[in-house]
């Protein structure tokens, strides 16, 4: 599984390299506090039942609070045959420190 730091993801998005799906696997209450613009919220517990909605070949960046849940989901997706998953290293906590210090934190 690939990992991407917040800075690398920001650069990747800014340079427009591809059209990654930003998949936020946190709970709705967490997403109400902060989120990356354009990310799709799909809580971790709903991933197995939503597999048919996801493209296993599309570049998919998994996002959570600290990068732990998203890493678990990335590993799960790889076991389901997804070939282009990336975990946001450090999650939104790291994103807020390194990329967007104005982002609300919790």
Show the domains of the chain with their CATH numbers.
Answer: 2-98 (3.40.250.10)
Q: What is the pLDDT of residue 98?
A: 97
What are the pLDDT digits (tens) for 8-42? Answer: 999 999 998 778 999 999 999 999 999 999 999 99
Among 64, 77, 86, 94, the one annotated catalytic: 64
Q: Specify the pTM.
A: 0.95
At 42, phi and psi to the nearest 5? -145, 95
Q: Are 8 and 95 in contact (CB under 8 A)?
A: no
Give me the percent of the chain exceeding a pLDDT of 70.
100
Q: Please tell me the distance from the alpha carbon of residue 98 to that of residue 101, in angstroms, as a whole number.
A: 7
Q: What is the pLDDT of residue 16?
A: 83
Q: What is the pLDDT of residue 18?
A: 78
Concerning whether 64 is annotated as a catalytic residue, the answer is yes
């Amino acid at each position: 599984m690939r990992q991407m730091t917040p800075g690398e993801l920001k650069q990747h998005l800014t340079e427009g390299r591809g059209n990654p799906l930003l998949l936020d696997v946190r709970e709705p209450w967490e997403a109400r506090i902060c989120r990356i613009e354009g990310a799709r919220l799909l809580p971790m517990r709903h991933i197995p039942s939503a597999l048919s909605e996801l493209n296993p070949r599309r570049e998919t960046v998994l996002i959570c609070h600290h990068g732990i849940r998203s890493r678990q989901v990335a590993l799960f997706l790889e076991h389901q045959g997804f070939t282009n998953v990336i975990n946001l290293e450090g999650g939104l906590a790291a994103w807020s420190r390194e990329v967007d210090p104005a982002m609300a934190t919790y």
